[in-house]
Amino acid sequence: MPSFTRTRCLYILGLGSTLVACGAPPTDEDVSQSRAALSPSPNDQAAYDYFFGKGLTNFQAAGIVGNLDQESQVDPTAVQAGGPGRGIAQWSVGGRWDTSTNDNVLWYAGTQGASSTSLSLQLEFIWYELTTFPGYGLSELRASTNVTGATVAFETYYEGCGQCDQSTRIADAEAALAAYGSFDYGAAYVSQSFPLASTALTMFAGQTIPSYIELRNTGTKAWGTSTHLGTSNPRDRVSAFADGSWLSTSRPAGAIGSVATGSSYKFTFNLHAPAKTGTYLEYFNLLEEGVAWFSDPGQGGPSDEDLEVKIVVVAAPEPTLSPSAGVKRLITDPTSLAAWHFGTPDIVPESDALVASYPSGPAMPAHPDVVVASGAPAVWVIDGSVRRHVIDPASLSAWRLGVTTLTAAQVDAYEQGPDWPAAPFVFQGTGEAAVYVIDIAPDAAPGDGGASAGGSDDGSIAPVAADDGATGAPGSVGAGTPAPSDDAGANAAFASGAGASGAGCAIAAMPATDRTSPSWIAAFAGTLCLAARRRGRRPARIGRRAEVSGERNLSTSVRQPMREFTEQLRRS
C-alpha cells in the first residue's frame, strides 16, 4: 500500500464558499477556521447516490457528503485560494492530486480516459482509494452505526485533518441524510451464521442446520410482525431448503416484536438440505408484507442479490460400523458436543430406524481426555476406567484431539481397553434431538477396532518406520485443544507400539543416548505437537465439514502444558 501522510486542513473563506486543503503534514500552527453549515450543494445528491449505490448505508453515504461539503461544497473544479487543494476532496498538488504513485487524481483520470475535473471521475477516485488502500478507513466507515460516527470516520481516516470543524461536517452530513437518505424501509447487513457466498456451505442430503441473518434497521419505520425475510432473485421463489420451521416455502422468518430504527434483529430459520446433491444459490431480502420490498425504488435496500448463501449438498457418508459391530454412545448435551469439537455440520442425518438398530453403549465422556506418558510413545484416550489406544496421526487429526502428558504410573493405572475408533461418526435421527457417536462394541478385546488404511482386520496397524524426529515446526498442544497443522511429517513419526497390536502408537523413536539434550527434546516435542496439530481434516469417507458459526480456534491455554511437557523431558 502506498504510504500517505496525515494532513492538516486549511480553511479559507471567500466568495460564499469554503475550500479546504488537506496537504502538508501537521504543524504546531493552528490554521483552521470554522463556518456555519451551508445549504446543500447542487452536487450533494449525486455524491450521496453514488456512495449509497456502492453498498454503504444511508448515514455512511451522508457522512462522506458532509465531509465533501466542508472540503469544497462538492465542486470538482474547486481550487484552494493560495493553497494546494484541488477538487471535491481538496487533494493536494504535490501529493494525491498529481504526484503520489498509483494514488493521484491526474494519474487515475488518465487510466479512465476521463477529465480530472469531472464529478463522476472524482467520486470514482474516492471509491478507488477507499477500496484499494486500507489506511483510508473503509472498514472503519462501514463499522459506523450512525451519521456522526460515519462522518468522523471519513474525516479521520480519509481526510486526515488536524482541526477540521467537525461539528460543521456533522451538521452537513445530517442535512444530507435528511434530504436524501430518508426512507421508510431499509436494512444494513450485520452478520450471518453461514459462510459468505464466496465460500460454500457444505451440507449432507437431508441435513438441517439452524441458521440466521442479522440485519440493522436503517429506515424511519420500526419493523414488526409484517416484516419478513423472503426469498429473492427471483422474489417469492420456492426454496429447496425450506422446512416446517419456515413461515412458508418463500418466507424463512419474520420479526417478532418491534425493531426500532438503528436496532438490529436476527432472523433465525433452518436450512434443510434437499435429497438431490449439487450446488445451490439461495438469495434473501426483507419486505414489509403488502407494502414494499426493501429493494424497491425509494426504499433503502439491500438489493435482491446481496444476501446470498452458496450451498453444496453432498451424499451422507456410510456409518463406520454396522449395528452388529458397534454401539451408539450419547453425547449428553451441547456443551459436551462442543468439548469434542463437533458442531451441527458434523452431524450426519440418519433414519430413525437406523439409529434404533444400534444398541446403546455408555454415554460419551463429557470432554476428551487424551494423554501420553512421559517418555513413552503411546497416545491414549481415557474412557471411563480404561485407556484406549489412538492408532495413528490420522485418527488424532480426525478426532481433533489435543494431548496432555501424565506420568507413566498415572497412565498405567488405567486398564487397557479396545482401540479408539479411527474416525468419528456423529449422527442423529430425523425425529429426535439426541446426538450419538458410533463406537466399538464394549466387549471388544484390547487392541481390537479402530483399523485404518493399511491395517489388518483385527484392528492392528502396519508398522511405520519412525524417523529421528518429525519434520516441520512444532506446535502447541493442550488438554482437549485442537492444534492445526498441514505438515505431513507427523505421519512418519508414528510407529506401531511395543510390537503388539493396540499396545500404543509410537510418536517418535527415542534416541539411545543423550535424552536430555535440548535438540532431542525439541525433536520429540515437535513430533508430538505435529500429531496433535493435524486437526481439521477428515478421512475421505467422512468428507470436509463446513463451519457455520466460525472456525474452531486454537486456545491460548495450550502453551503452558507444552512448557510443562518439555520441562518433564528435560528432567528425565
- What DSSP string runs through 308-375? EEEEEEEPPPPPSS-TTTEEEEEE-SHHHHHHTT--GGGPEEE-HHHHHHSPB-PPPPSS--EEEETT
Q: How many domains does the chain have?
A: 3
Classify residue 255 by burial, with Cβ atoms within 10 Å: 0-12, 13-18, 19+: buried
**CA dist 80 → 5, 248, 463 (Å):** 19, 59, 79
Q: Are residues 172 and 223 in the same domain?
A: no
What's the residue count for the chain? 572
Would you state the cell numbers that stand for residue 563, as one nine-digit string? 512448557
Are 42 and 118 part of one and the same domain?
A: yes
391 and 502 in a single domain? The answer is: yes
- Rounded Cα–Cα distance for residues 325 and 268 (Å): 40
Query: CB under 8 Å to 146, separation ≥6 — which residues?
Result: 59, 262
334 burial (CB, 10 Å; 0-12 / 13-18 / 19+) is exposed
17 belongs to a structural domain? yes
Give the residue with greater pLDDT, 138 vs 20: 138
512 located within any domain: yes
Number of C-alpha atoms within 13 angstroms, CB side, residue 141? 30
The three-class DSSP label of residue 554 is coil
Residue 227: φ, ψ to 5°: -90, 110
Provide the CATH number for the domain around residue 24: 1.10.530.10
Predicted pLDDT of residue 441: 82
Q: Is pLDDT above 70 for 551? A: no
Of 304, 313, 284, whose CA–CA distance to 211 is shortest? 284
Q: Are residues 395 and 501 in the same domain?
A: yes
Q: Which of 531, 497, 504 is nearest to 387 (CA)?
A: 504
Decide which of 71 and 476 is more confident: 71
Q: Are residues 291 and 396 in the same domain?
A: no
Q: Is pTM beyond 0.75 here?
A: no
Residue 533 pLDDT exceeds 60: no
**414, 372 in Cβ contact below 8 A?**
no
Q: Which residue has the higher pLDDT, 455 or 35?
A: 35
pLDDT tier at 161 (50, 70, 90 boundaries)? confident
Pairing outcome for strands 201-204 and 307-314? parallel
371 in the same domain as 245: no
Judge whether 329 and 359 are in contact, CB under 8 Å. no
* Final residue of a structural domain among 156, 180, 204: 180
Whether residue 161 is found in the same domain as residue 223:
no
Q: Which residues of 161-200 are buried (b: 16+ CB within 10 A; e: fewer)?
A: bbebbbebbbbbbbbbbeebbebebbbbbeebbbbebeeb
Mean pLDDT of 44-64: 93
Phi, psi of 424 (to 5 degrees): -80, 145
CA distance 174 to 185: 18
Over 60: is that where the pLDDT of 314 sits? yes
Residue 2 within a domain:
no
| Range with top average pLDDT, 338-342, 441-445, 565-569 | 338-342
Q: Are 8 and 31 in contact (CB under 8 A)?
A: yes
42 and 171 co-located in one domain: yes
Task: Tell whether 237 is covered by a domain.
Answer: yes
Q: What is the pLDDT of residue 362?
A: 95
Q: How large is the average pLDDT for residues 362-366?
A: 96
Structural domain including 394 reads 367-422+445-571
| 456 and 309 in a common domain | no
Least confident residue range of 335-339, 415-419, 431-435, 522-526:
522-526
User: For the chain, what is the mean pLDDT?
Assistant: 77
User: Is residue 418, in this structure, part of any structural domain at all?
Assistant: yes
Q: Are 141 and 255 within one domain?
A: no
- Residue 33, pLDDT above cutoff 60: no
* pLDDT value for 537: 34
Q: Evaluate if residue 289 carries a pLDDT over 90.
A: yes
Q: Which of 180, 200, 230 is the last residue of a domain?
A: 180
Under the banding of pLDDT at 50, 70 and 90, the label for residue 448 is low
